[in-house]
Structures are given as structure tokens and as C-alpha cells.
Amino acid sequence: MSERPAPARVVPALARRDFIRLVGATVAGLFALDATSDRMRIVASITALALDDELTRRNMSESSNSRLGALIAGLRQRGWVEGVNYRLEVRSTFGGPDKLQTAIAELIDLKPDVILTGSTVETAAVMAATRTIPIVFATSNDPVGNGFVESLAHPGGNVTGFTSSTPDMGGKWLQLIKEAVPDVQRIGVLFNPASTPRAGRYYLDSLEQEAATSGVAVELAPISAVAEIDGAIGRFADPPKAAMISLVDSFLVVIRKAVVETAARHRVPMIYPFHYFMDSGGLMSYGPTLEVRSADYVDLILRGTKAGDLPVQSPRKYELLINRTVASTLGLKIPYTLLARADEIRE
């Protein structure tokens, strides 16, 4: 079996000293030139989440996990105060495919200084609409393969941002859920082919390789609508013993509460890629922390740095979260060796 993943690790997307030197040179060279301008800047953000979702709330006191709240707080730390020297314009694509093009058109008409995108689907759509307005993707997987950037070190064009996982995550999720459920015989993989990287194949290669080593069967559970969740998860409630993996998927993030509630109702153990699912009552998650990174690049672009000159960064740290109370309700006794590696244990 391959080596167990450490609950927290550093991923060297680029040499740390090179990035620090880049940031230092940019801030020192451009602060006096552009940051003191009286012009009100416009920071645009497009998201697949509903605007009343806790992850899109502006007020950090409303939700400690608010993406926009973290962005606003991060920009404030860098001298940008909403309503004083910049305006934040947010549009949601929630509600159907037609909303995506409408939201993009509205934002581009505002002539923003930078557009922050929340997923691969949104990034591709915004890039199709503009090749001049700087774009920062807060999360994306395989940006080179998707044609977003020329390379991670030298993106070129008007786009840069942050990746949220690597292909080998599939195998790592399987290792972890098998530790939590030692007698598991089959693994269900939940995803939407339209919104997960390479229709799921980005993670499935490593997942299937690990499954072959571990002696468990992999069964795909693709869905494309909320109405399909119950059937996709419910079939893993019957013998032989099963558990599930939720892939990185913007669609699943949007419907995360329904996914977690359905898994609980059918008593199916599932591991998730982000802590957002844990906040909705999930069993366990393994993935990067994402919220605060985008403020760094939005700040640099507002000060005059070209998006294409900023290297794409990979996650710096991965975290393992386990909810011991949820495990108990599922009849699971999480091994001490797994609990000892968790960054956070919830009760």
C-alpha cells in the first residue's frame, strides 16, 4: 500500500524566496505609483453559489468560513477598504445555465480592474468573454491542461490563480476513508462529470490504482441534478460494506448540505475534499485551506502587476478534519492512529 498522507504538508508551487522577492519588488515598486490613486477600483467576483449562501456572505461575523468575508478582510489588511478605495461587485450564476452568461456580461460591462472566479467552469466562461481584464481563479485544477495558462511558473496572458488539489488526491482520499472504515469492500465515487476536472478522470486514475492495491472495488456514482443524489448515495447503504468519496466539484459544493444530509440518512460514510462539507455535518474531509490566498493576488493586480506575471500557486497546506460524533452515529470507531494525525477533531 502506498504511504499514508500527512495531515498537513507544504506543496512547493514555486520557490518560497522567489515568490517573496516577487511580492516585495512589486509592492515596493508600484505602491507609490498606483495604490494612492483617487480612482475607485472595481473588484468583481463571480460564483456558482447563491448570494445568500454562508460562503458568499460579506460579513465574517455571520460565517467564519465566508469566502467574500475572508477576501474583504485580506484586502483591508493590505490597505484596500470596501467603499473607500474599491467597490466589490458580486454576481451569482446560481439558478441555471443562462445565469452564467448574464452574470459575466454584467460584470464585464462594469469594466472591473480584476475578476475573481470561483471554479474551473466560471474561469473558462470568463476567459471566453475577455482577454484583457485580469482574472484570478480562486480554485482551479489542471489550469495548464484546461488552457488557462501557458505554465504554472509563467502563466502569460491575463489569467493566474491557485490550484486546489493534485491528481494523486484520489488515492489519498481512498486511503483515509478505508482507515476510518477498515471493513469496507466497495467505494462509491460521487461527482458531476460536467463540473469536476476532466469529468472525474483527473482523480480516478490514482483512486483506482489505490483501490487495486487495497483490494476494494470502485463504483462510480455520477450525478447531474439534485434529484439524483438520493439514488446515487442510497445504493451504497446495502451490503457489501461501502463508503464514498466526494470529488472536488463546484456542483457538489453548491449542494453540499443535501449531499451530507443524504449520506447521513442512508448511513453511508463519506470523505469530502473541503471543510465546507464538515461545516454542514460531514464525517471527514481532507484538503487544502483556500480562503485567504486570493487577496494576495488581487492586491498585487490592483497595484499594477500583470496577472500573467504572477505564478500559479498550489496549496501550501492540507488538513485532515474528523467529526467523531458523526462517526459514532454511523457506528464507526475511528482508529487512534487516524485521530492522532487529524488537524481538527470535531465533537
Q: Can you say whether the dihedral through the CA atoms of 209, 1, 246, 147 is positive or negative?
A: negative
3-state secondary structure the chain: CCCCCCCCCCCCCCCHHHHHHHHHHHHHHHHHHHHCCCCCEEEEEEECCCCCCHHHCCCCCCCCCCHHHHHHHHHHHCCCCECCCEEEEEEECCCCCHHHHHHHHHHHHCCCCEEEECCHHHHHHHHHHCCCCCEEEEEECCCCCCCCCCCCCCCCCCEEEEECCCCCHHHHHHHHHHHHCCCCCEEEEEECCCCCHHHHHHHHHHHHHHHHHHCCEEEEEECCCHHHHHHHHHCCCCCCCEEEEECCCHHHHHCHHHHHHHHHHCCCCEEECCHHHHHCCCCEEEEECCCCHHHHHHHHHHCCCCHHHCCCECCCCEEEEEEHHHHHHCCCCCCHHHHCCCCEEEC
Residue bearing the bigger pLDDT, 21 or 155: 155
pLDDT recorded at residue 52 = 84
Half-sphere exposure of 10 (CA within 13 A, CB side): 4
> Which are the contacts of 219, defined by CB distance < 8 A and separation ≥ 6?
186, 187, 188, 189, 236, 242
pLDDT recorded at residue 46 = 94
Residue 139 — very low, low, confident or very high, per pLDDT cuts 50/70/90? confident
CA angle 225–318–1, rounded 5-degree value: 90
Element (H, E) at 186: strand 186-191
The Cα 347–Cα 7 span in angstroms is 19
> Which are the contacts of 231, defined by CB distance < 8 A and separation ≥ 6?
none
The Cα 156–Cα 145 span in angstroms is 15
The Cα 249–Cα 166 span in angstroms is 13
213: number of Cβ within 10 Å: 13
pLDDT one-digit tens code per residue, 229-276: 999 999 999 999 999 999 999 899 999 999 999 999 999 999 999 998
156: which 3 cell numbers?
A: 502569460
The Cα 180–Cα 176 span in angstroms is 6
36: which 3 cell numbers?
A: 494612492
pLDDT value at 155 more than 60? yes
pLDDT one-digit tens code per residue, 186-235: 999 999 999 888 899 999 999 999 999 999 999 999 999 999 999 999 99
pLDDT one-digit tens code per residue, 86-119: 999 999 998 777 899 999 999 999 999 999 998 8
User: Across all residues in the chain, what is the average pLDDT?
Assistant: 87
Give the mean model confidence (pLDDT) for residues 113-138. 94
The Cα 337–Cα 107 span in angstroms is 49
Query: What predicted TM-score, i.e. pTM, was given to this entire model?
Result: 0.82
Closest Cα to residue 122, out of 104, 146, 102, 149? 104
pLDDT recorded at residue 290 = 61
pLDDT value at 142 more than 90? no
- How far does CA 163 lie from the centroid of its chain? 8
**Residue 188: strand, helix, or coil:** strand
